[in-house]
Chain A
Amino acid sequence: MNLTTKHLAALNITCRVLIALVGGYVLAALSAILVALLLPGDIINSIVSALMLSFIIYTVTVLYVFATKTTLRAGISVFALCILMYCFVRHLNGIAVL
């Protein structure tokens, strides 16, 4: 019994780390792409501003993933946000989402 709880805890932590690192990166990159596409004016300015912002999004995502009550909830929220961002990006690029 004890061993399984321990294993579960380890699995839980591993999942959170993966969601935070991989999910956080994908979310930060997608949001940066979205910001770059949405910002008005010169594309170079937009891209650089978006890149500078990406680290803040990444950090906030990591904090969120570890501050949320359950791992499942953290996973679902990050995943859902990624999908949402992805659809927006496709839409802005004039590509049909589905």
Chain B
Amino acid sequence: MSWLHTWAGFAFGWLLFFIFVTGSAGYFENEIDRWMKPEIAIVNTPIDDFTILNKAQQQLNSLAGDGAQWYISYPSIRDPHIDISWLQLANTELDIPRQWHEKNLDPYTNNAISSRETSGGETLYRLHYNLHYVPIMVGYLVTSLATLFMLIALVTGVIIHKKIFIEFFTFRTGKGLRAWLDIHNIFSVLPLPFHLMITYSGLVLLMGISFAPVIDATYGEGKKIHRQFYDLFQVEDQQQQFIELNTADLSLETALKDAKVRYKNQAISYLGLIDRHTSQPSFEVWLDANEGIEFATLITYRIVNERVQIAQSIGKTHSAAQVYDILEHLHEGLFAGTYLRWLYFISGLLGAGMIATGMIIWVNKRKKQQTRLINVIDKLNAAVIVGLPIAIACYFLSNRLLPSAMPDRAEWEMHSLFIAFALCGVFCALRVADKAWQNMLWVAAALYAFIPLCNMLTTEHNLLLSAQKGDWLMLGFDLSMLLFSACFAFSAVLLQKHTSKIAI
């Protein structure tokens, strides 16, 4: 079992580290997005829902008169800004492709703001299952396989732990390998429920792809049939009723008014106007869910048989879909408030730490062999474990430093991440292992310290101003970067002390 634990963990160690770090960053997707769009206007005074609707509709009318769908996103704690988006249908005559547009709305000046082109938080967190450069199916299958190895490593890790409770409180510092093992145990055992949940739910999220042959054999083969299976699986039970409203009066205003009467205490998440180019438009009101782990609830208003009908989902039809939903919500943590979100993030990083310490133990146990291979792996450990944070720092910096009019700018932000990652690999390969670790830690510390500074130099945002204006997301992001910088610097100093002790 010990052998299995070692090798199951080692086989995909670097990839799993990558998955855990980029996945953890996903818990702050919206917050990262806000930082990567410094132009957007922050709303930190409460504005009446109807005022927002009016202002947004004015803009949409002038910008997207022919848009097939309109969406108005209301300010919330995680996204304290108003966004409008619309779907532009394809027009072959004018050679316009079907595409979504999004603009930010400043409610104080009534300006529609375009932010810089950016990959944002979304592309960053998607890395943890699509791996960006490979075909999407390959990404799904490789990450699924790695996750299975993770599950095996977790289960065998629990099995080989005979004194799990005692070791939980054991930390012997300065004892070399022993200390690494102890910290590995702490990182693993403390958030073990999280690790098991995130690993198993991760597998379940992609099960239709990793175990596609099961659907082939039981439901039917082919892409179309699988699609049909998913749609059927996700079917929701609808509650429908007719309401007393004149069909001529149905609009976003009246829908909003009605929804606010029905759900007095729930905040509006966003409003949607679907199929507005047809004679059968529908009006959507999305409310923030205020309990459980659901993300939002949707009420749809449309005209059926000359009367206004409202439809509301009352949950998934299939009980298995309900279980699947729980796993999905637990994995994504969209329901989490600020504190729980940080707990999610920290648990994710502890998972990354567990993998990193596991890789370091693997090398340390074999260091006496002094073979070339072990040496290279030691260097590459530094290139991945410290290199990935460096690469992510470069991703953030590229958002500020790439010229705003650059073609494919968003894509180049992602390229920056991987170029920096590759450079870290080359750098570490050329250095002595101990030196590589130390240099990389200092580089990471410097880069993370530079992020808030770069923000200050290239935009009008800085720590002081963000605090003054109550722009908590911007402030929180910059402060977090400084915190990361301090952590890397601290690790570098610790390592320096440790190596000099050995040298004496």
A binds B: yes
Q: Are A55 and B207 in contact (CB under 8 A)?
A: yes
Residue interface bits B132-154, CB-to-A below 8 A is 1, else 0: 00000000000000001001100
Which residues of A are found within 8 Å of B213, using beta-carbon distances? 29, 33
B151 and A55 within 8 A (CB):
yes
Known: A37-B218, A44-B320. A28 touches B233 (CB 8 A): no
Q: CA A88 – CA B215 in complex, angstroms?
A: 17
Chain B neighbourhood of A62, CB < 8 A: 4, 152
Also in contact, A48 and B219, with CB within 8 A (given A28-B211, A29-B214, A66-B4) = no
| Chain A nearest CB, measured from B10 CB (Å) | 13
Find out whether the CB atom of A48 lies under 8 angstroms from the CB atom of B318. yes
Report B-chain residues with C-beta under 8 Å of the C-beta of A55: 148, 151, 200, 203-204, 207
Asked if B318 and A32 sit within 8 Å, CB to CB, the answer is no
Q: Which residues of A contact B3 (CB under 8 A)?
A: 66
| Chain A residues near B214 (CB-CB < 8 A) | 29, 32-33, 36, 47, 50-51, 54
Q: Is A71 an interface residue (CB 8 A)?
A: no
Contact between A49 and B152, CB atoms less than 8 A apart: no
Q: From A51, A54, A58, name the one whose CB has the most chain B CB atoms within 10 angstroms.
A: A51
Chain A: which residue is nearest B319 at the CB level? A45
The digit string for A10-43, where 1 denotes a CB below 8 A from any CB of B, is: 0000000000000000001100110011000011
Q: Are B218 and A52 in contact (CB under 8 A)?
A: no
Are B152 and A47 touching (Cβ within 8 A)? no
**Contact A47 B148, beta carbon cutoff 8 Å:** no
How many A residues are at the interface, by size bracket? 20 to 34
Contact with A along B323-346 (1 / 0, CB 8 A): 110000000000000000000000
Residues on A with beta carbons closer than 8 Å to the beta carbon of B4: 62-63, 66
Indicate which residue in A49, A58, A89 contacts B320 across the interface (CB closer than 8 Å).
A49
Q: Is the CB of B217 within 8 A of A44?
A: no
Q: Is B495 close to A, CB under 8 A?
A: no
Q: Give the distance to chain A from B330, nearest Cβ to Cβ, in Å.
A: 14
Q: Does B63 contact A (CB under 8 A)?
A: no
Residues of chain A lying within 8 A (CB to CB) of residue B200: 55
From B203, B211, B321, name the one whose CB has the most chain A CB atoms within 10 angstroms: B211
B90 CB-CB contact with A under 8 Å: no
Known contacts being A44-B229, A45-B319, A63-B156, is A51 close to B217, with CB within 8 Å? no
A67 close to B (CB within 8 Å): yes
Is B1 part of the contact surface with A, judged by Cβ < 8 Å?
yes
With A and B bound together, what is the CA distance between A75 and B59 in angstroms?
A: 68
Set of chain B residues within 8 Å of A47, measured between Cβ atoms:
214-215, 218-219, 229, 320
- The answer to the question of B232 belonging to the interface, with a C-beta cut-off of 8 Å to chain A, is yes
- Chain A: interface secondary structure? helix
Q: Determine the residue in chain A with the shortest Cβ distance to B208.
A: A51
Chain A contacts for B321, CB-based, 8 A: 44, 48
Interchain CA distance A55-B202 in the complex, whole Å: 11
Interface residues of A in 70-96 (CB under 8 A from B): 89
A44→B148 contact, CB < 8 A? no
B155 and A52 form a contact (CB under 8 A):
no
Closest to B233 in A: A44
- Report the separation of the CA atoms of residues A50 and B233 in the bound assembly, to the nearest whole angstrom: 14
- A43 and B1 CA atoms in complex are apart in Å by 37
How far, in whole Å, are A31 and B233 apart by their CA atoms in the complex? 21
- Is A51 within 8 A of B207, CB to CB? yes
Given A44-B320, A52-B323, A55-B200: A63 and B155 within 8 A (CB)? yes
CA distance A48 to B151 in the complex (A): 20
B1-26 interface (Cβ within 8 A of A): 1, 3-4
B239 vs chain A, min Cβ distance (A): 21
Q: Please give me the residue from chain A that is nearest to B324 by CB atom.
A: A48
Nearest-Cβ distance from residue B237 to partner chain A, whole angstroms: 14
A32 engages B211 (CB within 8 Å): yes
Question: In the assembled complex, which residues on chain A have CB atoms less than 8 Å from the CB atom of B155?
Answer: 59, 63
Pair B207/A43 contact, Cβ less than 8 Å: no
Q: Which B363-418 residues have C-beta < 8 A from chain A?
A: none
Q: Are B1 and A67 in contact (CB under 8 A)?
A: yes
Contacts of A28 in B (CB 8 A): 211
Residues from chain B with a CB closer than 8 A to the CB of A67 are 1
A26 to nearest B CB, angstroms? 9
**Chain A minimum-CB-distance residue to B321:** A48
Query: Which chain A residue shows the least CB distance to B5?
Result: A66
CB closest chain-B residue, reference A58: B148
**CB–CB B152/A45 < 8 A:** no
Top-7 shortest CB links A-B: A48-B320, A45-B320, A51-B207, A32-B214, A36-B218, A66-B4, A33-B217
A interface residue numbers (CB < 8 A to B): 28-29, 32-33, 36-37, 42-52, 54-55, 58-59, 62-63, 66-67, 89
Having A63-B1, A63-B152, one finds 8 other A-B pairs with CB under 8 Å, namely A32-B214, A44-B318, A44-B320, A51-B208, A51-B211, A52-B323, A52-B324, A63-B155
Q: List 27 A-B contacts (CB under 8 A).
A: A29-B211, A29-B213, A32-B211, A33-B213, A36-B214, A36-B218, A37-B218, A43-B218, A44-B318, A45-B318, A46-B218, A46-B320, A48-B320, A48-B323, A48-B324, A52-B207, A52-B323, A52-B324, A54-B211, A54-B214, A55-B151, A55-B207, A59-B148, A62-B4, A63-B152, A66-B3, A67-B1
